[in-house]
Amino acid sequence: MRDLREDMASILLTEEEIHQRVRELGQEISRDYEDKEPIFIGVLKGCFVFMADLIRQVTVPCSMDFMAVSSYGNATTTTGAVKINKDLSQDIEGKHVVIVEDILDSGVTLHYLTGYLGNRKPASISIATLLDKPSRRKADVAAKYCGYTVPDAFVVGYGLDYAEKYRNLPYIGILKPEIYSN
């Protein structure tokens, strides 16, 4: 039986480490958003594992919605424009928004999204990301809630994919370089 673990050069974050940190983030958000009834907006697809775990650590009343986006251009060149493939199903005017992302990399996606959602006059917008790769930042965007800062390596698992695979891994791993060259 083939095990995806064989495709990893190393494990960056174990299931236990992630779980512990996500619990802390949920507690922090619950404190900050007491009486604010936040709406969590997940950015599909990468957010889905993190968001499912995070919201179960949130103890205050809240709601959630999802968006799906893709960047124009390819992996190496980005125009800075983002295509909305699925928009929100509700109005966010006057609401406290928490955008939930898997990883903040160049920042292009979240820079665009905060502007896009900001036009709808929410009461506030903050970002919760599981991972942050600050070394690759191109757009000016910062996450209020961040699980872990990671080095400039391509990581997969816990929702993050390479070519739509590896999202199901319960840990975050660094892919073996030969996987890219196949």
Residues annotated as part of the active site: 105
Could you say whether residue 103 binds ligand IMP (CB under 6 A)? yes
Residue 105 interacts, among ligand IMP, Mg ion, none and using kind-specific CB cut-offs from 5 to 8 Å, with: ligand IMP
Token pair in block for residue 110: 């979240």
Part of the chain binding Mg ion (CB under 5 A), chosen from 2-10, 46-54, 80-88, 163-171: 46-54
State which residue, 93 or 164, has the beta carbon closest to ligand IMP: 164
Half-sphere exposure of 144 (CA within 13 A, CB side): 14
SS3 68: strand
Work out which of 7, 60, 64, 106 binds ligand IMP, going by CB under 6 A: 106
State which residue, 27 or 135, has the beta carbon closest to Mg ion: 135
Residue 146 interacts, among ligand IMP, Mg ion, none and using kind-specific CB cut-offs from 5 to 8 Å, with: none
Could you say whether residue 173 binds Mg ion (CB under 5 A)? no
Distance between CA atoms of residues 164 and 44, nearest Å? 12
Could you say whether residue 105 binds ligand IMP (CB under 6 A)? yes
Distance between CA atoms of residues 58 and 116, nearest Å? 26
Query: Of 151, 36, 55, 64, which Cα lies nearest the Cα of 105?
Result: 151
Token pair in block for residue 132: 């942050």
Distance between CA atoms of residues 115 and 117, nearest Å? 6
The residues, any chain, with a CB within 8 Å of residue 166's CB and separated by 6 or more, are: 4, 7, 156, 157, 160, 173, 175
Work out which of 46, 122, 157, 173 binds Mg ion, going by CB under 5 A: 46
Part of the chain binding Mg ion (CB under 5 A), chosen from 9-17, 42-50, 110-118, 137-145: 42-50
Could you say whether residue 22 binds ligand IMP (CB under 6 A)? no
SS3 34: coil
Query: Of 9, 2, 3, 11, which Cα lies nearest the Cα of 158?
Result: 11
Work out which of 18, 51, 98, 108 binds ligand IMP, going by CB under 6 A: 108
Could you say whether residue 132 binds ligand IMP (CB under 6 A)? no
Could you say whether residue 46 binds ligand IMP (CB under 6 A)? yes
Interface residues with ligand IMP (CB under 6 A) are 46, 101-109, 154-156, 160
